[in-house]
Amino acid sequence: MPRRKPASGGAAPANPASARQAVLSRFFQSTGSLKSTASPAGAAEKADPDSDSEAPLASTLPPQLQPHVTEIDRSKKKALESDGPVKKKARKVQEKEEESDSLMSGNSEPKKHLRTRTVLKSLKKLKEFCCDSALPQNRVQTEPLQKFAVLPKCTDFEDIDLLRAKNAVSSEDSKSQTSQKDKTFSHLGPSQKSYENLQKTSDSKPSNKRTKSIYTPLELQYLEMKQQQKDAILCVECGYKYRFFGEDAEIAARELNIYCHLDHNFMTASIPTHRLFVHVRRLVAKGYKVGVVKQTETAALKAIGDNKSSLFSRKLTALYTKSTLIGEDVNPLVKLDDAVNVDEVMTDTSTSYLLCICENKENVKDKKRGSVSIGIVGVQPATGEVVFDSFQDSASRSELETRILCLQPVELLLPSDLSEQTETLIHRVTAMSVRDDRIRVERMKNVYFEYSHAFQEVTEFYAKDVVDIKGSQSFSDIINLEKPVICSLAAIIRYLKEFNLEKVLSKPKNFKQLSGEMEFMTINGTTLRNLEILQNQTDMKTKGSLFWVLDHTKTSFGRRKLKKWVTQPLLKLREINARLDAVSEVLHSESSVFGQIENHLRKLPDIERGLCSIYHKKCSTQEFFLIVKTLYHLKSEFQALIPAVNSHVESELLQTFILEIPGLLSPVEHYLKILNEQAAKIGDKTELFKDLSDFPLIKKRKDEIQDVTKKIQTHLQEIRKILKNPSAQYVTVSGQEFMIEVKNSAVSCIPTDWVKIGSTKAVSRFHSPFIVENYRHLNQLREQLVLDCSAEWLAFLENFNEHYHTLCKAVHHLATIDCILSLAKVAKQRDYCRPTLQEERKILIKNGRHPVIDVLLGEQDQFVPNSTDLSGDSERVMIITGPNMGGKSSYIKQVALITVMAQIGSYVPAEEATIGIVDGIFHKDGGCR
């Protein structure tokens, strides 16, 4: 076959450097595959491929290719010994280069007889590439590679949360700040959906120019706040809405049925500001801890500050759980508009106990059998009630169960480590209710329950934080409490400080011990449950219980009082008869006094909770005004009843309580006169106080505002001269004040230094330089006035709280009257009689009926009455026999419930009843004893 001659005028061969790169890419990854980086672009072209200075090709390639290249080097060395063959072979090599380059640059496949030449040419190109990849300054690498270079670790699939959290710190920060940020954010990250999206966009997403971070300033602010409240759902105020981020947003979307979407690095959801209290209450009812984060800066004050270009500052202003649902963000007392479903917002306000439990195994007789000494402290932050107790309990934890069922707490505060028997009881109690009614459990570290730490915590709180208690009898009573009680009290103090509600514990003289004296009948937890005193055993609701039968109260605080009466029947004959006398008085009285009192109590707000909200200084102006106005009206109404009470009411209990109420409520008139009703109803604290003589700071700020306003009004005369319009006036549009309105046809005569604010087709509106300066100053003074008024408002509440305990006593009287009226409603039912209470051990019931079944059956007359005759001197025991479903258990429970009703002070469903004082009722395995 004739030899092909190279075309003299053909196209230039392809760029050798790009060809080498194309060949090499088939074998190696360019990054990290050689020990040294590629030489500069010009070095490859200057290197002579036939130069003696180059290193052997075999020494620069991996071991797999060295045998083939060694053969090529041997042939080349042999050819260099003579002149003739060298030129001939050089022309062939040139032809091969042209053919190889053309094949690599084109799309056609190489011919069969050229494949060997192409392979040899590829190896030659590999040699040239290795020479071109020498060290800097065109030095050829001579050190052979003994093994493949190790590729650097690819970071595309590393923990993206950690990488992004590290990048969140500014590169300008010091090393200490960087390490602190890494520690702060290392465990935090976006939600799962955000995480997946971030993995896809990690290489292409630009960082924030100002913070050198992939997080936005708002997200960084959220992360810092979340670090402090890891277990809370945070609602962050952003203008006209509250936003949730990350996992909080996903929870809010699921529980509130709102939309959730990805925004920057986090999933986010939002709610309007005016619906905050509705959604917070919903989340709290489902067992979550909810935090509200509000903006603490205003635009005008921020503009004159040092950080005017930074993000608005925000801080956590409130935390809420089931037991701490107090504050203007969740205010249930303000009248709701028609758009809000009242049943949806108003939850059962009967009890909201926070119960703390602490165990102490010291000085316990039967440690091996699970016995333990237990101390409890229960607090109702919403009402200010505090109870405590200390007792020895067996392995069954029956005593603890009794107190839990009596108090019905909505939240338990427990150490992280409890005994197995107590944990079993807690699990059983918390699992009894449906989800929204389930008891919330909060755990604290064991160190907070250690006696040494607890004693120091309690001592510091009452010696430093509580005024005028150190050295008093109350302080001595506190430190002499049992060790488990002090440990529980210390833990509850620490917990309530997080919510700023610890003030409720500042009056130890108001603490009540559950089992300090034999004042009440003993009813353990099993008996409460089996007799269905507070709730039925079918669906755990109130309907079908004894409390449901007796509850005809008109107020929330009266309902709470009646629930205590039902779970704590009296043992003192005088107190029982006093209640029965009051019920009889209401039942048989022909006076209109009790009807008027019932009308006054009807539709009252929850005054007890309102006063406690004021006491914690967490109330709004609307709530405060509503409570004070209600108390003032009650004072006036009960004051008008005094003559009729003196002449028609004979019950000592009712007469005393009704006559004391007007005097106890007298302080509210002074505070009501100070307030501006219209401003209070709309929450305007700047106009809240009528007389500013007692508020000099507010008066001074208002005078400054008035001076600036006068200056702006005086400036109007100068504007009229400039515009040559004596009737020119300032206009206000969309909140922008003091604007000068000019027709568009006359805009040419406006001074050039005037600032254009806005325009329409007909007119343009301006601010003169004088107005710009003074209007900015005016806005700053107005916002400062709001801050001053807020401070004065808190001082005003502190002054009002001096009468807190007096007003609470009046509410206690109102609640007792409400309970008496409720029991009178029960007594009006058919065939109810007043029981006779006596000290003698005797139970005589003639034709008694089960109080609950009797009401459930209604007027169908299907219930068969039964009589009972038990006495300590004769028949002390009764054995009840009969077929299954014959009514044995109902009869036994009937006797027990009638006894409970009698010692509460209620009429009973029987023709006649004589009850000797019973100090305890026990129910077990389907029977009572």
pLDDT in tens, 351-403: 789 999 999 877 666 666 778 999 999 999 988 899 999 999 988 898 999 89
**Region 693-798: CATH code:** 1.10.1420.10
Domain with CATH 3.30.420.110 in the chain: 354-516
User: How much is the pLDDT for 763?
Assistant: 94
In the block, which residue shows the tokens 């190790």?
150
φ and ψ of 913, to 5 deg: -150, 130
Bigger pLDDT: 573 or 77? Answer: 573
593 closest CA partner among 363, 824, 376: 824
Q: What is the dihedral of CA 322, 324, 328, 332, to 10 degrees?
A: 50
> pLDDT tens across 644-661, in order?
999 999 999 999 999 999
Task: Indicate the pLDDT class of residue 580, thresholds 50, 70 and 90.
Answer: very high
Residue environment code for 280-297, b if the CB has 16+ CB neighbours within 10 A, otherwise e: bbbbbbbbbbbbbbebeb
Between CA 877 and CA 914 the distance in angstroms is: 17
Tokens for 369, please give them: 């059998």
Residues 251, 233: contact at Cβ < 8 Å? Answer: yes
Q: How many helices (H) and strands (E) does the chain have?
A: 33, 24
* CA-derived radius of gyration, the chain: 43
Cα→Cα distances 678→317, 336, 634, 675, 703, Å? 26, 17, 21, 9, 22
**Three-state secondary structure along 701-729?**
HHHHHHHHHHHHHHHHHHHHHHHCCCCCC
Residue 672: burial class (beta carbons within 10 Å; 0-12, 13-18, 19+)? middle
Give how far Cα 526 sits from Cα of 2, 429, 573, 891, Å: 113, 12, 26, 18
pLDDT for the residue numbered 510:
84
Q: Phi/psi of residue 612, each to 5°?
A: -70, -35
How many CA atoms does the CB half-sphere of 39 hold within 13 Å? 21
On the question of pLDDT at 549 being above 90, the answer is: yes
Which CATH architecture describes the domain 830-928?
A: 3-Layer(aba) Sandwich (3.40)
- Residues 6 or more apart whose CB falls under 8 angstroms from that of 257 comprise none
Model pLDDT, residue 880: 87
Give dist(CA 354, CA 444) in Å, integer. 14
CA dihedral 719, 724, 728, 731 (to 10 degrees): -60
Structure tokens at 40: 């500069």
pLDDT bucket at 490, cuts 50 / 70 / 90 = very high
The first and second tokens of residue 341, run together, are: 């479903």
Judge whether residue 349 has pLDDT over 60: no
**Token pair of 927 as six digits:** 């029977």
Residues 6 or more apart from 183 whose CB is under 8 A from it? Answer: none
Phi and psi for 353 in degrees, rounded to 5? -70, 140
Distance CA 236, CA 223 (A): 12
For the domain 548-678+801-826, what is the CATH code?
1.10.1420.10
For the chain, give every residue range classified as CATH 3.40.1170.10.
160-345
The sign of the torsion formed by the CA atoms of 541, 391, 575, 595 equals negative
Specify the domain boundaries for CATH 3.40.50.300 within the chain.
830-928
Average pLDDT score, the chain: 79
Helices (H), 531-651: 546-550, 556-567, 573-588, 593-601, 607-615, 621-648
**828 within 8 A of 522, measured Cβ to Cβ:** no
Cβ atoms 723, 731 nearer than 8 A? no
Mean pLDDT of 162-169: 43
Q: What percent of the chain has pLDDT above 70? A: 71
Tallying the residues shown for the chain, one arrives at 929
623: alpha, beta or left? (left if phi > 0; alpha if psi -120 to 50): alpha
Burial 342-377 (b: 16+ CB within 10 A, else e): eeeeebebbbbbbbbbbbbeeebeeeeebbbbbbbb
What token pair was written down for 634?
A: 């009650």
| Arithmetic mean of pLDDT, 134-141 | 43
**Residues ≥6 apart with Cβ < 8 Å to 14:** 101, 102, 104, 105
pLDDT score for 364: 65
The 3-class SS string of 295-315 reads: ECCCHHHHHCCCCCCCCCCEE
**285 close to 372: Cβ distance less than 8 angstroms:** no
Dihedral angle computed from the Cα positions of residues 200, 201, 204 and 208, in that order, rounded to the nearest 10 degrees: -160
The single-letter DSSP state of residue 464 is I
- Of the candidates 27, 200, 257, 182, the one whose C-alpha atom is nearest the C-alpha of residue 119 is 27
Largest CA distance in the chain: 147
CA distance 277 to 332: 8
Q: To which H or E segment does residue 236 belong? A: strand 232-238
| Contact between residue 927 and residue 921 where contact means Cβ atoms under 8 Å apart | no
Give 324's DSSP letter.
-
Task: Enter the pTM of the model.
Answer: 0.71
Crossing angle of helices 115-132 and 84-105, in 10° steps, is: 90
* Structure confidence at residue 437 as a pLDDT band (50, 70, 90): confident
What is the H or E stretch that residue 262 is in? strand 261-263
Classify strands 920-921 and 522-523 as parallel, antiparallel or unpaired.
Answer: parallel
Q: Give the helix/strand (H/E) hosting 662.
A: helix 652-664
Residue 297 pLDDT exceeds 80: no
What is d(CA 609, CA 352) in angstroms, rounded to the nearest whole number?
Answer: 11
| Residue 188 CB contacts under 8 Å (≥ 6 apart), including other chains | 161, 165, 223, 226, 227
Residue with tokens 């209604």: 858
Tokens in use for 733?
């549009």
Residue type, position 133, single letter: S
CA angle centred on 472, ends 466 and 476, rounded to 5°: 95
Distance, first Cα to last Cα, the chain: 123
DSSP H helices, 388-524, are 398-407, 420-430, 451-460, 473-479, 483-497
Residue 539's pLDDT band, with cuts at 50, 70 and 90, is confident
Residues of the chain with CATH 1.10.1420.10: 548-678+801-826, 693-798
Q: What is the CATH number of domain 354-516?
A: 3.30.420.110
Nearest to 868 by CA among 926, 914, 832, 920: 914
CATH level 3 topology of 160-345? MutS, DNA mismatch repair protein, domain I (3.40.1170)
DSSP β-bridge partners for residue 520: 570
If you ran DSSP here, which 8-state letter would residue 882 be given? -
Tens-digit pLDDT profile for residues 818-860:
999 999 999 998 889 999 999 988 999 999 999 999 898 876 6
> Tokens 């076959």 map to which residue?
1
- The more confidently predicted of residues 65 and 393 is 393
In SS3 terms, 167-193 reads as: HCCCCCCCHHHHHHHHHHHCCCCCCHH
Cα distances (angstroms) measured from residue 599 to each of 80, 554, 594, 650: 124, 9, 9, 21
Q: Which of 67-71, 160-164, 426-430, 831-835 has the lowest mean pLDDT?
A: 160-164
Q: Mind listing the pLDDT tens digit for each residue in 850-906?
A: 999 989 887 666 778 999 999 888 888 888 888 888 888 899 999 999 999 999 999
pLDDT at 666: 95
With a CB cutoff of 8 Å and minimum separation 6, the contacts of 741 are 731, 763, 764, 765
Q: What is the pLDDT of residue 633?
A: 95
